[in-house]
Chain A
Amino acid sequence: MIAPYVFISPGVVFYLMVTIIPMVWGFWISFHKWSIIWPAHPWVGLDNYAALLSEDLFWTSLRNTVIYTAGVVPVEVAVALMVALLLNTRLRGRSFYRLLYYLPVVTPLSISAVIWQWIYHPHVGLFNWVMRLLRLPTHDWLQEIGTAMLAVIIVAIWSGVGYRMVIFLAALQGIPQTYYEAAMIDGAGRFALFRYITLPLLKPATLFVLVTSIIGSFQVFSIVNVLTQGGPLDSTHVVVYYIYKRAFGDLQFGLAAAMSFVLFAIILVVTAIQWKLIGREVSYE
């Protein structure tokens, strides 16, 4: 019977073409001195990886990505969880709030960055205006070493909370009411309900959200490329920005491919940790 192959081939072929083949080929490229403008691509073994490790910018971009992740993920997940818990009560206008919190998620990131660029404007921006009202020091947020990363992190949190909130809301609504009712009959108070039913049953969703947030954070690019171009003084130079600059700025495809595999390895490790943790997930069934 050929019907199944006819059904799967378009999807599978395109998928192999844009994911599996580039992955394998990228690995191959990372062992070569490779540039799109040279006809020859000599094999250099592990030279690209060695070059990465001995380069300051590589470590800077890794460190910046970790700082970014540490700044974004905890806040994003905590805010999303809190909003979901609040919206899960009998609140008037629930669906309106949910809609509002989700709007930044559907807004193209690079355009969100342009909108925020205007808010961060040193002279006429809304941010500095609020800072003045609060009698706090104003900044040229995107141009100062001390504030540029913070400015990027804020935009990322703003655009990422909504998606996580919807996942938490779905998880909360998936907790059977009967558990609460049974506990209430046994005399549990509201705090006990939260502590012993809601919190443990939210664990799989929390883990999922945490891991996908970390994975997403390691791929940050659009906001950085629009707002800061890695600056000032490389203070927002992140991993994907490094790949982009090395490949399409310096035409060093081999080096960029090697960095791609560092990114890939990091994400693989995070995913492996997730699988390990999911194995011990809470089940009351």
Chain B
Amino acid sequence: MIGIGGASGSGSASGRGGAGGAGGANGVSGVSGVSAVGARAQAPRRGGPDAMRILGRILTYALVTAGAVATATPFVWLILSSFKSLQEVVLFPPTFLPKKPVLSNFVEVFRMIPFGRYYLNSVITSVIPTAATVLTSSMTGMGFAKYRFAGRSLLFWIILSTMMVPFPATIVPLYVMVSRAGLVNTYAGLIVVGLSSAFGIFMMRQFIMSIPDELLDAARIDGAGEFRIFLQIVMPLTKPAVATLTLFTFTGHWGAYIWPLIVVNSDRLRTLPLAIPYFSGQYFSFQNLINAASLMAIAPVLVLFLFTQRYFVQGITLTGLKT
């Protein structure tokens, strides 16, 4: 729930999110292109001594790099340790690079615990809610953005104002509901709480609002039905928003912890965020295996993020801010 919870503060943002932000940025850079000429002529006079400037640059790099090293160390340490044998991993002082790199840890994990099963559980309980959230958010966003109907503002206001409701504050009644429906210890129980999201609805509504009504009207004149307009005209135009929402939702579900912890107690339904801490508690002396398992568990989201970070940044910009 990282992205979802984190961005939930955008509750009071009015119509400024959506594509409005992108348009604004373009306008600004256009203007600055003109006046930069004037500024450039003035700049050298105010530059300060060169030595100061160089010192400032060095300091900037030093600070940024120090922070980056602190951030990266746990990852680097995890990766290096998962290639070390059990004997090497418990050496003190620790070795930095593996003296004799081994791949056996990655294989051994699958022998000691049903790691493949956990992986499958994580995939199922991340992919289905993500697909469902994207679909329900797009449809609901379309409804709120492009139609006038009785109760529209009331419903939207209810969703917006309850975006802040802390998920942990609802787990007790949610559990009672899910248990009465007989869904404890089932995939359905894991998935059912993630089929829609206020954040997603809000984000898709903002985005779809920026699509001109004329486009929809033209299609209507050509005889297209409302659902066809949604699928063939609106959806193709919302690709950036859909990509962002998909990524946020997927990483959120991949890391989901508190709900699976409550609703599942059978081992064969454990997802990776449950299984890894459990494994590390049970087999705490096999640190090499814990590291290899952790690395394999976080690899998908890290790789996904590496290739799509542009969308993450856009998503935060679109929803998290009212500049």
Contact = CB atoms under 8 A, between A and B. Distances in A.
Contact of B143 (A8, A100, A112): A8
Given A7-B143, A14-B196, A111 B294 contact: yes
A1 B147 contact: yes
Nearest to B149: A4
A184 to B, nearest CB: 5
B235 interface: no
Interface string A244-285: 100110000100110011011001100100110010000000
A69 interface: no
B312 A166 contact: yes
A240 B5 CA distance: 15
Contact of B172 (A18, A173, A257, A275): A257
Interface string A25-59: 11001000000100000000000000000000000
A25 B93 contact: no
A114 B309 contact: no
A167 B7 CA distance: 10
Contacts of A244: 168, 171, 258, 261-262
B276 to A, nearest CB: 5
B194 to A, nearest CB: 8
A198 interface: no
A8 B172 contact: no
A222 B258 contact: yes
Interface in B151-194: 152, 155, 158-159, 162, 164-177, 179, 192-193
Nearest to B256: A108
Interface of A: 1, 3-8, 10-12, 14-15, 18-23, 25-26, 29, 36, 79, 82-83, 86-87, 89, 91, 95, 97-119, 121, 123-124, 126, 129, 132, 158, 161-163, 166-167, 169-171, 173-174, 176-178, 180-182, 184-185, 187, 189-190, 204-205, 208, 211-212, 215-216, 218-219, 221-222, 225-226, 240, 243-244, 247-248, 253, 256-257, 260-261, 263-264, 267-268, 271, 274-275, 278
Given A111-B276, A158-B74, A181-B32, 8 more contacts: A11-B137, A89-B60, A101-B71, A118-B77, A161-B71, A205-B323, A267-B169, A271-B164
> Which 7 pairs from chain A and chain B are nearest by CB?
A11-B140, A108-B255, A7-B143, A4-B147, A8-B143, A177-B32, A14-B196
Interface of B: 2, 5-12, 21, 24-25, 28-29, 31-32, 35-36, 38-39, 42-43, 46, 48, 60-61, 63-64, 67-68, 70-75, 77-78, 81, 89-94, 135-137, 139-144, 147-149, 152, 155, 158-159, 162, 164-177, 179, 192-193, 195-198, 200-201, 226-227, 230, 251, 254-255, 257-258, 261-262, 272-274, 276-277, 280, 287, 290-291, 294, 297-298, 301-302, 304-306, 309, 312-313, 316-317, 320-323
